[in-house]
Structure 1
Amino acid sequence: MGEEFIVKAALYVVPLLLAVVCHEVAHGWVAEKLGDHTARLSGRITLNPFVHIDLIGTVLLPAILILTKSPFLFGWAKPVPVNFGNLRRGRRDMALVAASGPMTNLVLAGASAVVYRLIVLGLSGGVIPQTGWAPWIVVPLAQMAGISVEFNLVLTVLNLLPIPPLDGGRILVGLLPESLAYRLARLERFGMLILVVLIATGSWSQIVRPVLKAFVDLFLG
């Protein structure tokens, strides 16, 4: 079990860190372009993973999910600070900042799928030799690319759920008429509790899994 966990952790660590770090950096970068420099002043618009790591979301939760052989991997980094009051166009810009995170994960999933397919085609077509040193590099790389596709798609789909403070909830708050947006925004203090209940009861799988499966089939075939 210990050796299996070490191998899995080694394959998962780079895709996980890249996904959650790029997600948060995207929020901060877009916010800066739209008028808020809070993330930049906090030193958070950087790909250095150490400034983004959250003990629970980036370390403990993924480790537990790997150990328990969970059918999905989930995690998060420390949220990048954004002062929505500094954004030039208020709620519209808030929606753009919120959308930047999951859209970045979707792009990463697509790029990872390209890497995965190129390696598989290269191995099956004889372009990449299946003997010698090459398989020791490209096979783990293909595994990491496949993991990256699935993990980034999980982040994309889950974050787009219309529940504040998830990105999907904040996108809706930015797009809905003001009266409806205000009512939805008031749910933010209960948002994580709602999400935990959905996951704990298995209800989330009925909502998320069909969408996630469709995306995985599309990206990985």
Structure 2
Amino acid sequence: MFLTTLVTHPAFFFRYIVIVIISICLHELAHGFAALSQGDDTPKKLGHITLNPVVHMGVESIIFLCLVGMSWGQMPVNPYKFRNGKFSDILVSAAGPLCNLALGFIFIALLSLFYNSGFISKDFLYLAARINLAQFIFNLLPIPPLDGFHIFSNIFPELKQLERSQMGAFGLMIVFLIPGFGAGLITIVDLIITNFLRLTLAF
């Protein structure tokens, strides 16, 4: 269980918790600001335009994060208030993953910039880049209730049937049960980070 790293690798435990909480909060805020830009004031009315992790994640999600290393967040939106229909829905859904993508490359840039300085922990920056890029890729999977499902089901309406099927109900569970899924995701992320570092450090 992830909680054991508090004893075996306490520095990693706290780095991981802090990065995941910040990343999820910014991910959800990106959804919220995108919704506001599309005419939906629900995030503001319900008090979700905040950096408070309890609001975005809930106590249960934070406890789950500390126990098993996984967590989730939520931004309330009302698609019926979007001024541009499907386009708005795609934009709002994509805002969260794109925020993680931007954060991932910001942390890669910082890692490259301070690689030999000792000014900022390389381990922290690498982990932050890894977590955000992993969140970006994972959230784009076209499985309910992930952002990718909302994006692709607006482009391909046939996918909406998944939401009402058993696949929709157990899709995420099935993904986590795929042997090597997590390791494969991290391998892809590490390849992205190391290749960009090679490019930037070469100059």
TM-score between both structures, scaled by the size of structure 2: 0.83
Which letter does structure 2 place at the counterpart of 1:174?
N
Aligned position for 1:102: 97
User: RMSD in angstroms over aligned alpha carbons?
Assistant: 2.4
Q: Which of 128, 138, 141 in structure 2 is aligned with 1:148? A: 128
Residue deviations 1:109-135 (CA, integer Å, cap 9, x gap): 111112222222324xxxx6xxxxxxx
Aligned position for 2:160: 185
Q: Are residue 111 (structure 1) and residue 106 (structure 2) matched?
A: yes
* Counterpart secondary structure, 1:186: helix
Residue deviations 1:130-168 (CA, integer Å, cap 9, x gap): xxxxxxxx33xx322111111101110000112232111
Mapped contact 1:164–1:184 kept (Cα < 8 A)? no
Which letter does structure 2 place at the counterpart of 1:112?
F
Aligned position for 1:175: 155
Q: How does 1:43-192 map to 2 (within 5 A)?
A: 43-65=47-69, 74-77=70-73, 79-123=74-118, 138-139=120-121, 142-176=122-156, 181=157, 183-189=158-164, 190-191=167-168
Which letter does structure 2 place at the counterpart of 1:215?
I
Residues 42 and 218 of structure 1: CA distance in aligned 2, closer, same or farther (over 3 Å): farther
CA distance in 2, matches of 1:19, 1:173: 25
Find the structure with the greater CA-based Rg: 1
Residues 217 and 75 of structure 1: CA distance in aligned 2, closer, same or farther (over 3 Å): farther
Q: Are residue 17 (structure 1) and residue 18 (structure 2) matched?
A: no
CA distance in 2, matches of 1:51, 1:144: 25
Residues 10 and 209 of structure 1: CA distance in aligned 2, closer, same or farther (over 3 Å): closer
Aligned position for 1:6: 10
Higher relative contact order (CA 8 A, sep 6+): 1
Q: Are residue 198 (structure 1) and residue 193 (structure 2) matched?
A: no
- The farther-off stretch of 35-44 and 165-174 is 165-174
- The farther-off stretch of 194-203 and 204-213 is 204-213
Mapped contact 2:134–2:186 kept (Cα < 8 A)? no
Residue deviations 1:36-81 (CA, integer Å, cap 9, x gap): 111111111112223123344433245324xxxxxxxx4322x110
* Counterpart secondary structure, 1:54: helix
Return 5+ residue gaps in structure 1 as ranges.
66-73, 129-137
Post-superposition shift, 1:28? 0.9
Mapped contact 2:130–2:186 kept (Cα < 8 A)? no
Aligned position for 2:41: 37
Return 5+ residue gaps in structure 2 as ranges.
199-203
CA distance in 2, matches of 1:113, 1:36: 33
Residue deviations 1:150-200 (CA, integer Å, cap 9, x gap): 110111000011223211111112223xxxx1x312312543511211211
Residues 7 and 104 of structure 1: CA distance in aligned 2, closer, same or farther (over 3 Å): same
Which letter does structure 1 place at the counterpart of 2:176?
I
